Amino acid sequence: MNVFNQLSVWLSFQLSIIFFIGIPVTLSIWSIKKRNKAVNKLLSIYWKISLLFFISLLLLIGKYNYALVITNISTLLMTISLWFWNDINDELREYDFSYPLTTTTKIWRWTVTFISINFLIQSLQNFNCFSFINSDSCAIWLQPSSNLYIFIKNLFTFFFGANFTQPIAKFLGLFSLLIYILGLIQWSIIKLPKNGRNSCFSENGRN
């Protein structure tokens, strides 16, 4: 069962690389090329929200005890950001399956939703890891971030000539988390009451 759990967690992180990073990059380039304002706006919002996911990876590298909580919050916010906007939802509904960009975007939204739900279910199976990621039973959650740690460490050494350590990753993660929270609070207080669930993608005219 432990081997199956390790494989399942590993697979979830591999899928997250594809559907949280790879496909959104492709859709962003595609939407710019096609000048589709709705999809482009959706992706620009998604990238801002998804910063929390990258912050959580830094916290996992730094073995911050509540890193898994941040990871699950990030996937939840990413999913919400893809469905929250009424004007974008209305715009996407106007396209049928013959329009490949919006069809791919719709499929991607559902896939991200299912991956996020699956991620949460897997996390709940290791509930103690929400508050103590450094326990031996939680090693399966730290393993996928080890390759990212090696990559960032080599990159850090190449550009800055310094050693990138786990305490540095933890500090950068917590500092970035503070900035992210402040930005989210500002949006909640200022922009959300003003615009509501309107993304304002069509302020300069519909595509």
Listing DSSP states for 97-165 in one string gives: TT-HHHHHHHHHHHHHHHHHHHHHHHHHHTGGGGT-TTSGGGHHHHTHHHHHHHHHHHHHHHHHSS---
The single-letter DSSP state of residue 20 is I
The single-letter DSSP state of residue 197 is T
Confidence of residue 206 (pLDDT cuts 50, 70, 90): very low
Contact between 63 and 166 under an 8 Å Cβ cutoff? The reply is yes
Query: Can you give the pTM of this predicted structure?
Result: 0.89
Whose tokens are 């916010």? That residue is 77
pLDDT value for 46: 97
Give the CA radius of gyration of the chain.
19
DSSP 53-66: HHHHHHHHHTT-TT
Average pLDDT value for residue range 166-173: 90
pLDDT at position 104 over 80:
yes
pLDDT at position 205 over 70:
no
